[in-house]
Amino acid sequence: MKSEMITLKHGDATIKMPASSLAKLALASTFAVVFPQAANVAPPATETIPALGEYWPGQGGINGGLVAARGDVPAHYLIIAKDDAGSHEWGNRGKESGATSKTDGHANTITLLADEGHPAAQAADGYAADGHEDFYLPAAAELYQGWLNCPEVFAQDCCYWSSSQRSAISAFTMTFGGGNQDDYDKYDELRVRPVRRFFI
């Protein structure tokens, strides 16, 4: 059976194609408008993704693993800075903060920077590598993901700050030697390891 042909004319140009091909083209165009990211952004090829705990060239750090979409944050890879950004106080002891998300360190860090007086968040925000300047202080769950996927890339004999406040006087921490999550006084000077997101 011969397929139905459709002729399209615009000015002096004429295109003749099977109706089925035109339908596919129209559908693809609709998806490109309605879902621009899905239509126009290809995920990274599997062979270009380094193993967990390995440096990801061009991404500013180590592959900390895939993070599923949650709320308004799309799925992404957690990129862990190769180096610590020193030891710092969390800051503003005795003052409640809005940085209470246990999963969204980026949002926490924005809150802490707007409030001022948070050295750990400032140190993470000031970190840059491979041309990326979008690092932040990880939330408690992001530090835990680092312990699950690549604890060996962190110092084993000390605690790291998260950006997740526990109370007016303390914030959540992670010790990678034993995998302990705890909370420390905001005036303690603990390690800071910046992270960033690589969206897929």
**Which of 142, 81, 66, 147 lies closest to 106 in space, CA to CA?**
142
**Which of 25, 44, 17, 143 lies closest to 84 in space, CA to CA?**
143
Asked whether the predicted pLDDT for residue 28 surpasses 90, the reply is no
pLDDT band at residue 200 using 50, 70 and 90 as cut-offs: confident
- pLDDT attached to residue 3: 57
Going from N- to C-terminal start, the domains of the chain cover: 5-40, 47-199
Mean pLDDT of 75-97: 97
**pLDDT greater at residue 22 or residue 167:** 167
Secondary structure (DSSP) of the chain:
-PPPEEEEEETTEEEEEEHHHHHHHHHHHHHHHHSHHHHH-PPPPGGGSPPTTSEETTTTEEEEEEE--BTTB--EEEEEESS---EEE---TT---S---SS-HHHHHHHHHHH---HHHHHHHT--BTTB---BPPPHHHHHHHHHH-GGGS-SSSEEEEEEE-SSSEEEEEETTTTEEEEEETTSEEE---EEEEE-
pLDDT band at residue 62 using 50, 70 and 90 as cut-offs: very high
pLDDT band at residue 92 using 50, 70 and 90 as cut-offs: very high
Give φ, ψ of 105 to 5 degrees. Answer: -65, -30
Query: pTM for the whole thing?
Result: 0.78
Asked whether the predicted pLDDT for residue 44 surpasses 70, the reply is no
pLDDT band at residue 17 using 50, 70 and 90 as cut-offs: low
142 within 8 A of 103, measured Cβ to Cβ = yes
**pLDDT greater at residue 5 or residue 150:** 150
Cα Rg for the chain, rounded, in angstroms? Answer: 23
